[in-house]
């Protein structure tokens, strides 16, 4: 069945992206080595990779592997962010991997997303708690605030000599009006990704959205120049925002923040974009259009336990058996359940957050 489940394909031409970025689709073969299958790979949310097969080969031969995934702390975390971090938690347990989580206060500062570094720091600590609450192994998880971590500057400087201004400018489409911190941040990002390889010889995989791929390509070029393992990547498609637009913290109606009240969640879900018809009568006659439906997409993440359940729901929608109110109620209940459980776990580790920061890097 793998690869044949076209639950999400109509929303974007991912094949074209795969070709353009030189990535490969996940195949069942490369994942045979993993003990379990993540439902979001089966459902096509994590759909492609670059060199993840080479990375898994090293793991298969008994090598220690690492995962790097950063968080830019400019706001409270929303559920879209947690999807990637929950996937990484799963991958950590599958591979017994060391996980490095840079909290990039410097990035948010130079890109003018926060007023002060102190503001970014406040979010960094709160975001760290949300990430740790997903169930990371504290023994193998290394969080750090980028501007406060000594080695970041040293390694960034060393790597910056392997970049040119024109390469960075072209890769990100920068204009001459950006501040130099934005340009230098490419070296900082490369330092985050390559540190586990430079320092410990661990191969690294980075789960990312495709829009972040320019950083990966620059970093892989640097890795080739300094002759270390080129970091692998796993590509995620983004869950669409509730309004149908991309999820963005600066447009609160598109996403559910972890600290949204039940009333706010209800309003956002009830206003969500669906593939439903104008009237219930039409819906019964013509059926809904789940490929267009954001509520269906979110149910895939927060409600359905597997592809089979997602497909059954899809059939009920298409046949007109379902109406959108039922799905919205289901989604609202699933989100409230998820957030309640999340807060329980967050509270239970509140006094232990240092365990995730204390490791010698």
Work out whether 7 is an interface residue with ligand SF4 (CB under 6 A).
no
> Could you tell me the two tokens for 78?
């929303």
Binding ligand SF4 by CB under 6 A: which of 80, 102, 203, 276? Answer: 276
Which CB, 65 or 242, lies closer to ligand SF4?
A: 242
Query: Hunting for tokens 């990637």 — which residue is that?
Result: 84
- Positions 314 through 333 that interact with ligand SF4 (CB under 6 A): 317, 322-324, 327
Listed residue (81, 23, 88) closest to 257, CA to CA: 81
Per rule CB under 6 A, is residue 274 in the interface with ligand SF4? yes
Q: Among residues 329 and 347, whose Cβ is nearest to ligand SF4?
A: 329
Q: Name the CA radius of gyration of the chain, rounded.
A: 21
By CB under 6 A, tell whether 80 contacts ligand SF4: no
310: contact with ligand SF4 by CB under 6 A: no
Q: Is 288 in the site for ligand SF4 (CB under 6 A)?
A: yes
Query: Residue 244 CB, nearest distance to ligand SF4 (Å)?
Result: 12
Give the burial string for 237-249 (b: 16+ CB within 10 Å, else e): bbbbbbbeeebeb
Q: Number of residues interacting with ligand SF4: please give it, by CB under 6 A.
A: 13
Which residue, 131 or 269, is less far from ligand SF4 as judged by CB?
269
Can you tell me the distance from the alpha carbon of 77 to that of 83, in angstroms, rounded to the nearest whole number?
11
β-strands 46-50, 24-25: how paired?
Answer: antiparallel
Q: How far apart are CA 8 and CA 45, in angstroms?
A: 8
Assign 68 to helix, strand or coil: strand
State in angstroms the smallest separation of the CB of 39 from ligand SF4: 18
Q: Give the one residue of 124, 293, 310, 353 binding ligand SF4; rule: CB under 6 A.
A: 293
d(CA 256, CA 268): 8
Asked if 253 and 262 touch (Cβ cutoff 8 Å), the reply is no
**Residue from 290, 302, 307, 356 that binds ligand SF4 (CB under 6 A)?**
290
- Tell me the closest approach of the beta carbon of residue 243 to ligand SF4, in angstroms: 14
Phi-psi region of 345 (alpha: psi -120 to 50; beta: other; left: phi over 0): alpha
**In angstroms, what is the minimal distance from the CB of 280 to ligand SF4?**
10
Query: In whole angstroms, how close is the CB of 45 to ligand SF4 at the nearest point?
Result: 17
What sign does the dihedral 54-33-44-128 (CA atoms) show?
A: negative
Binding site for ligand SF4 (CB under 6 A): 274-276, 288, 290, 293, 295-296, 317, 322-324, 327
């Amino acid at each position: 069945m793998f690869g044949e489940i076209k639950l999400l394909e109509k929303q974007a031409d991912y094949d074209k992206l795969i070709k353009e970025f030189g990535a490969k689709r996940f195949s069942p073969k490369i994942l045979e080595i993993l003990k379990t299958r993540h439902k979001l790979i089966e459902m096509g949310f994590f759909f492609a990779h670059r060199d993840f097969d080479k990375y898994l080969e090293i793991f298969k031969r008994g090598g220690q592997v690492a995962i790097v995934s950063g968080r830019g702390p400019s706001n409270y975390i929303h559920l879209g962010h947690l999807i990637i971090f929950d996937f990484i938690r799963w991958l950590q347990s599958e591979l017994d991997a060391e996980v490095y989580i840079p909290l990039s206060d410097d990035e948010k500062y130079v890109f003018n997303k926060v007023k002060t570094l102190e503001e970014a720091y406040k979010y960094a600590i709160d975001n760290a708690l949300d990430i740790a609450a997903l169930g990371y192994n504290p023994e193998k998880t290394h969080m750090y605030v980028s501007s406060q971590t000594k080695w970041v500057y040293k390694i960034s400087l060393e790597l910056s000599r392997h970049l040119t201004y024109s390469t960075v400018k072209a890769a990100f489409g920068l204009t001459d009006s950006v501040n130099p911190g934005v340009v230098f941040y490419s070296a900082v990002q490369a330092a985050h990704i390559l540190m586990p390889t430079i320092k410990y010889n661990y191969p690294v995989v980075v789960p990312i959205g495709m829009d972040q791929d320019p950083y990966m390509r620059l970093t892989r070029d640097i890795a080739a120049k300094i002759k270390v393992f080129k970091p692998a990547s796993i590509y995620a498609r983004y869950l669409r925002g509730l309004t149908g637009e991309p999820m963005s913290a600066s447009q609160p109606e598109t996403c559910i923040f972890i600290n949204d009240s039940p009333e706010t969640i209800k309003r956002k879900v009830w206003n969500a974009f669906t593939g439903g018809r104008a009237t219930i009568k039409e819906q019964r006659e013509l059926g809904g259009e789940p490929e267009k439906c954001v509520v269906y997409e979110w149910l895939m993440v927060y409600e359905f336990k597997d592809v089979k359940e997602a497909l059954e729901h899809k059939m009920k929608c298409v046949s007109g058996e379902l109406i959108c109110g039922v799905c919205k109620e289901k989604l609202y209940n699933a989100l409230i359940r998820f957030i309640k459980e999340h807060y329980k776990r967050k509270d239970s580790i509140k006094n232990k957050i240092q365990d995730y920061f204390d490791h010698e890097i």
